[in-house]
Amino acid sequence: MELDDRKVKILQAIIRNYLETGEPVGSRTISKYTDLKLSSATIRNEMADLEELGYIIQPHTSAGRIPSDKGYRLYVDTMMEAKVQQVQQMNELLIQKADKLEIILKQVAKLLATNTNYATMVTGPQYKNTKIKFIQLSQVDNEQLLAVIVVDGNLLKNKIIKTKEPLDSETLLKLNILLNSSLQGLCIQEINLDIIQKMKLQAGVYSNIVSDVLDAVAEAIQEEDDLEVYTSGATNILKYPELSDKERATELIYTLEEKQQLANILSDSQELDEHNKIQVYIGSESPVKNMQDCSVVTATYELEKGVHSTIGIIGPKRMDYEKVVNTLQGLMVQLDEIFKKT
Amino acid sequence: MELDDRKVKILQAIIRNYLETGEPVGSRTISKYTDLKLSSATIRNEMADLEELGYIIQPHTSAGRIPSDKGYRLYVDTMMEAKVQQVQQMNELLIQKADKLEIILKQVAKLLATNTNYATMVTGPQYKNTKIKFIQLSQVDNEQLLAVIVVDGNLLKNKIIKTKEPLDSETLLKLNILLNSSLQGLCIQEINLDIIQKMKLQAGVYSNIVSDVLDAVAEAIQEEDDLEVYTSGATNILKYPELSDKERATELIYTLEEKQQLANILSDSQELDEHNKIQVYIGSESPVKNMQDCSVVTATYELEKGVHSTIGIIGPKRMDYEKVVNTLQGLMVQLDEIFKKT
DNA sequence: TATTAGCACTCTATCACAGTGAGTGCTAAC
DNA sequence: GTTAGCACTCACTGTGATAGAGTGCTAATA
């Protein structure tokens, strides 16, 4: 059996209606709702077919139909319309531009949550293939050296290094020159044993300090690996009856609070995403087990050159995909305005 | 009417029982539960008195009694027993010691939440009256200066300062010496106009850079003012029927997520706390409006010299005050072990 | 005088049960 | 191929009826 034009129209009507009401949709509703001029009996026949094909489900014998994951998937892939959807109050972010990226991202998460009425998650800024721009060692007090590492995108990392005795300023200067001349412009993968050996050789008696600094560099950039995740609007989950029974809600909110599992889905979508492509996970398509009753829409943005962030929206399977996708699309433009303009 | 010894015992029995079960407590239960050898009828008379005095409440005519806020207050003030209560798995924190304080505090929040089954909140480390230890300006690239400010407790602050043209290394050195000699050992309140004027005078043509650095210093220390708050175990709220109806739970979890209001109660208790004193807010005693149905227990710790953090535990009014207070007391010892030992 | 047994009363919580209505599938007619 | 009609299903709702926990009051008791 094939999906003819009429079946598609009916399926679409069922899904649209279900997205709005959250109630199973009956044949009579569709008969009135569409412009197909068909009686409810005919619709019933078609619905039986659609059920057999797996696009819709009957919760119980005497109820209407609701879309299945397969139905939603078809809807998302082929039936949605693109229309510009702006995130409200984005302009209020502008004032904050000067501040750190993370703060902006947290605010974006919050705005998205209030705009969409779903839960949102945002990764901290991801610095990919960043290069070391500048390293500076300074003597803080008699036993402590401070290493500051600046990488592309003006990301700063600090590390305190303990020493037995203070270094004189000349040595410090030499070490700084050595560090910068050897490491400037390299990204972490490029720092190989060869370079390290050469540096140690040049450092002479201070080779152990060079080791410490390199450890600090590694550690500093390492930190970026465990994906930081911010969430917002967790309580929006409770607005949807199908997710808000105590057990499910507890699991979901816990998942949002713990963030560990969210990192899975976010990094998964980061790998899949071609740039600025939007990813939709419907129900069991999601890699997060506790989210089988939800849908997740993700998008990865390039904020500045080499700096990315992935944003995800979490809602019930009957989320308003059209609005969410269009909002994320619009967000891209809005973020561009904020970052490219200034 | 006075609270004689017997009334106190009965009240205590009622509260203990209610804390355990969460159900209104009847006279027959108390008659068996206590060693007073009194019939339920006598207990009933006493209970009528206790109700008149405002220590207990009858939810409806044919139900048992539950403690009122006043009853809880008496219990907390006079009836609790101190016994050592350790936070489990604290030792696993030790490995992390090397890392930043915030990470430890977040983990403490999480451990406390799993140990107590209540929601927890923790302020970021509070640096009080910290003194500037070290300042370093460095040239990152042609148009950017990096200012690193180290204050007591090895708290680091960075600030990028834009300049029109690069400074030569000699000027940089001079500026660094000027900054350190003028500011080292001062806390922010001590940096007055007089000092600023002198510095600018000495800096000559570079006085505008001195201004920028001072702004950065102010800003860096300013950041500490808006109390950072971490929460954990928000979903524990849902374990208590009296808090888990949809409306209340939404409000509470939202409050925990937003954190803004939590800062109120935390900073309130910081002001009240004599050192290492534990504070209990019962129901309407809490300054946070959404938490009138909860009780909050807070404690402020000195982690390192001059570095504080306030920890709060949020649960239903029938929370196990004894356990919570003793846990927070025990936590103090455990934190001391972690910080003072190493 | 304080305590207790006894009793009538109150109120909630629970369960069974019937009724309602939305929706279906099938059959026969159009 | 479409539709009207009808019997059937099943969740949901409201209604008592009942049980049970607990109370307050009174009168008897130590």
pLDDT > 90? residue B253: yes
Question: What residues approach strand D to within 7 A at the CB?
Answer: A 37-39, 41-42, 45, 60-63; B 23-29, 40-41, 44, 47-48, 51, 58, 61-65
- Evaluate whether B312 touches B266 at the Cβ level (below 8 Å): yes
Query: Across chain B, where does the E strand assignment appear?
Result: 56-57, 66-67, 119-123, 126-127, 132-141, 144-151, 155-162, 229-232, 278-282, 294-304, 307-316
- Find and give the residue nearest to D8, measured CA to C1': A62
Say what the pLDDT of residue A150 is: 85
Grade residue A215 by pLDDT with cuts at 50, 70 and 90: confident
Say what the pLDDT of residue B54 is: 96
Say what the pLDDT of residue A162 is: 82
Residue with the larger pLDDT of the pair B342 and B4: B4
Q: Which amino acid is at B202?
A: Q
pLDDT > 60? residue B303: yes
Q: How far apart are CA B107 and CA B100, in angstroms?
A: 11
Say what the pLDDT of residue B30 is: 96
Residue with the larger pLDDT of the pair B315 and A226: B315
pLDDT > 90? residue B310: yes
**Average pLDDT for chain B:** 89
Q: A126-155 pLDDT, tens per residue?
A: 887 778 888 988 888 888 888 888 887 777
Say what the pLDDT of residue A145 is: 87
pLDDT > 60? residue B326: yes
Which helix (H) or strand (E) is B95 found in, with range?
A: none
pLDDT, average across residues B181-198: 86
Question: Which of A314-323, B1-10, B112-121, B180-189 shows the lowest per-residue confidence on average (mean pLDDT)?
Answer: B180-189
pLDDT > 80? residue B341: no
pLDDT, average across residues A298-324: 93
Contact between A134 and B136 using a beta-carbon 8 Å cutoff: no
pLDDT, average across residues A299-324: 93
* Any B CB within 8 A of A235 CB: yes
* Pairing, β B56-57 against β B66-67: antiparallel
Grade residue B223 by pLDDT with cuts at 50, 70 and 90: low
pLDDT, average across residues B285-313: 92
Say what the pLDDT of residue B105 is: 93
pLDDT, average across residues A247-253: 95
* Pairing, β A56-57 against β A229-232: unpaired
Q: A25-54 pLDDT, tens per residue?
A: 999 999 998 888 999 999 999 999 999 999
pLDDT > 80? residue A1: no
A:159-218 residues touching chain B, CB 8 A cutoff: 160
Q: Three-class SS of residue B318?
A: coil
Contact between A146 and B148 using a beta-carbon 8 Å cutoff: yes
pLDDT > 90? residue A76: yes
Q: How far apart are CA B67 and CA B53, in angstroms?
A: 12
Say what the pLDDT of residue A101 is: 84
- The sheet carrying A132-141 orders its strands as A132-141, A144-151, A155-162
pLDDT > 70? residue B46: yes
pLDDT > 90? residue B318: yes
- Evaluate whether A206 touches A171 at the Cβ level (below 8 Å): yes
From the CA of A64 to the C1' of D4: give the distance in Å: 20
pLDDT, average across residues A60-81: 95
The set of strand D positions with any atom below 7 Å of a protein CB reads: 2-5, 8-11, 20-26
Which residues from A are below 8 Å from B103, CB to CB? none
Please count the other Cβ atoms lying within 10 Å of the Cβ belonging to residue A270.
18
pLDDT, average across residues B56-73: 95
Say what the pLDDT of residue A221 is: 67
Say what the pLDDT of residue A107 is: 92
pLDDT > 90? residue A208: no
Q: What is the DSSP letter of B320?
A: -
B204 sits in the region (left: phi over 0; alpha: psi -120 to 50; else beta) called: left
Q: B86-142 pLDDT, tens per residue?
A: 999 887 775 554 457 888 899 999 999 999 999 999 998 888 777 888 898 888 888
- Which of the listed ranges A88-102, A213-227, B166-180, B203-217 does the model predict with the highest average pLDDT? B166-180
Say what the pLDDT of residue B22 is: 93
* Pairing, β B126-127 against β B278-282: unpaired
Q: How far apart are CA A326 and CA A80, in angstroms?
A: 10
pLDDT > 80? residue B28: yes
From the CA of A42 to the C1' of C29: give the distance in Å: 15
